[in-house]
Amino acid sequence: MNPEENTLLKKKRRDLIKAIEEKRNSKLIVFLTSDRPNLGFSITTDVVPILHKHILAIEDAKRSKIDLLLYSRGGHSDVPWTIVSMFREYFNGSFCVLLPYKAHSAATLIAIGADEIVMTKKAELGPIDITINNGPYNQRDEKTGDRLPISVEDVTGYFDLFNKMGCERPEEKLRGLEQLTERVHPMALGMVSRILEQTELIALRLLGTRVKPFTEEKNKEIVRRISEIYSHSHTISRTEAIQQLGLKQIVKAEDIGISEELWSLYEEYNTLFQLNKPFMPEEYLVTNNLDENTWHNLYLACVESISRFDTYQKSLRVRRLKQSQPQVTLNISNIAFPAINIPQLPPDVTSEQIRKIVEKIVSAQFQSIVNNAVKVAVNEFLKALPSAGFEHISFKSSWIEED
C-alpha cells in the first residue's frame, strides 16, 4: 500500500470514528487483533501501555464517557481485568464496548465488564473458557514437536461424562483421573483447574465493576450460564446473550443509529489487515519456485483513536528446509573449453616461455568457466533436493506509532 492510499484510508477511519463520537457524545478508542488465517494475534499484556497512551491523549474534561470498539478472537485470561480496571480509573462516567463483529474469549470478558455493550446484528460473543496452547506440561506432537493445546472444556466434559454415566463413587472418579493422567501431565490438569477458577472469578469481578451492577446473585447466574457452554467455537449472538445469558446491558446498534458506522469502520480494518485473505507463505514459495522470501511489516494488531494510530507489526522470513546438505563434485570432462589462440612468437622463443604464455591464457579463462559451472551445479542440486518442510523466522516484532 503506497503512502497516498494509506493516508486516504486513515482519513476514512478517522471520519467514521468522529461520526460515532458525535452520535454517542463520547470518546472512542479502537482495539483490534488479527484473526487472519495463519496470521492471527491475541490480546496480551503489551497492549495495556498502548491503550494507556490513547487514554492520556484525551483531555480530562472529556473523560466522562469512553467507548472501546473491540474486535478479537481472545487472548490471555488475566489481561481483561487489567484493561477494564485501567479504563475505570480514568473515566468516572460510563465505560462502553462497541462490537461490530467478533469478540470472543478474553474479548468477551472485557465486554461483560462494560456498562453498555453495543452490538450489531452480526456481532458475536464467545465462551470464556481458556485453551492452554503451549504450556510447559503440554504434550508434544510426535511429528512436529510442537506443544499440543489443552482445552478447558474438554477436561471438564470428560468428568461430566463420568457423572452422566453414573460413575459418581470416589473410587470411580479416581480411576478416571488416573486414566486421564496417563495421557495428560498432572501439572497441566492442575493448570486447567486453576485457570478455570480464575476465569470465572475474573468474570464475576468484571460484572461487579459496572456503574449500575446487577445483584451478586444475578452476576453469578450470568457466569454460570457462560461457563456451561462447552464448545469453544460456539458463537453467542446478541439475542442469545440477552435472553439466555441475562446480559441486559446489551444495546442494539441500530436502535441508537450507529449500526452502519460500526460496520463500515470494521470493513476499513478488514481491508487494512486483509482479514479474509489467508496468509500462505509456503504456497507462495512453491508457486513462485522460490527457496526463501521475507515479508515485512505484517499487521497483527492496532489501537486507534482521533489522536494517534499504533500498530503491532512483525517481519517474517520463510525458507524451505532440505533433507540433506549439498555435496557437489564437478565433472570437468563435460566442460567445453574455448580455443586457445597463441600469439605470433619470435623464432628464438624457448619451450619454457611458451608454457608460461599458455598458463596465463588458460588460467584467465578457466577460472570463469569453473565458477559459472559450480554455480549452475549447486542451484540445480538444491532444486532437486526433496523438501523437509519450512522454517519460519519472525523478527522486528513490536508496537509502532504511525504518522
**HEC assignment per residue over 37-97:** CCEECCECHHHHHHHHHHHHCCCHHHCCEEEEEEEECCECCCHHHHHHHHHHHHCCCEEEE
Of 103, 27, 94, nearest in space to 308 by CA: 27
At which residue does the C-alpha cell 515479508 appear?
295
Pairwise CA distance, residues 328 & 373, whole Å: 11
Alpha carbon distances (Å) from 307 to 10, 239, 339, 403: 12, 35, 73, 10
Is the pLDDT confidence value at 40 over 90?
Answer: yes
Which range, 86-90, 135-139, 331-335, 340-344, has the best average confidence (pLDDT)?
A: 86-90
pLDDT above 70 coverage of the chain, percent: 68
The pLDDT score that the predictor gives to residue 189 is 61
**pLDDT at 83 (0 to 100):** 97
Cell 458475536 belongs to residue: 124
Asked if 185 contacts 139 with a C-beta cutoff of 8 angstroms, the reply is yes
Task: Say if domain 3-129+229-275+297-314+397-402 classifies as CATH 1.10.150.
Answer: no
Specify the residue for cell string 478474553: 106
Q: What angle do CA 388, 392, 396 make, to 5 degrees?
A: 165
Alpha carbon dihedral 8, 12, 17, 21, in 10-degree steps, equals: 120
Least confident of 23-27, 84-88, 277-281, 378-382: 378-382
Q: What is the pLDDT of residues 135-178, one digit of tens each?
A: 555 566 655 556 555 555 566 665 666 666 666 677 666 676 66
- Strand duo 250-252 + 116-119: pairing: parallel
Would you say residue 351 has pLDDT above 70? no
Query: Residue 17's pLDDT band (boundaries 50, 70, 90)?
Result: very high
Is residue 247 over pLDDT 80? yes
User: CA 268 from chain center: how many Å?
Assistant: 18
Q: Is 159 exposed, middle or buried (0-12, 13-18, 19+ CB in 10 A)?
A: middle
Confidence of residue 200 (pLDDT cuts 50, 70, 90): confident
Give start-end residues of each CATH 3.90.226 domain in the chain.
Answer: 3-129+229-275+297-314+397-402
Beta bridge partners, 390, equal: 320
- What pLDDT is recorded for position 268? 97
Angle between helix axes 170-181 and 152-164 (nearest 10 degrees) is: 140
Binning pLDDT at 50, 70 and 90, where does residue 323 land? low
Contacts by 262-267, CB closer than 8 A, 24 or more apart: 262/20, 262/69, 262/98, 262/99, 262/100, 262/118, 262/120, 263/100, 263/120, 263/122, 264/16, 265/13, 265/16, 265/17, 265/20, 265/30, 265/69, 265/100, 266/71, 266/100, 266/101
Q: What is the pLDDT of residue 395?
A: 94
CB-based burial label for 34 (10 Å; 0-12, 13-18, 19+): buried
pLDDT band at 327 (very low <50, low <70, confident <90, very high): low
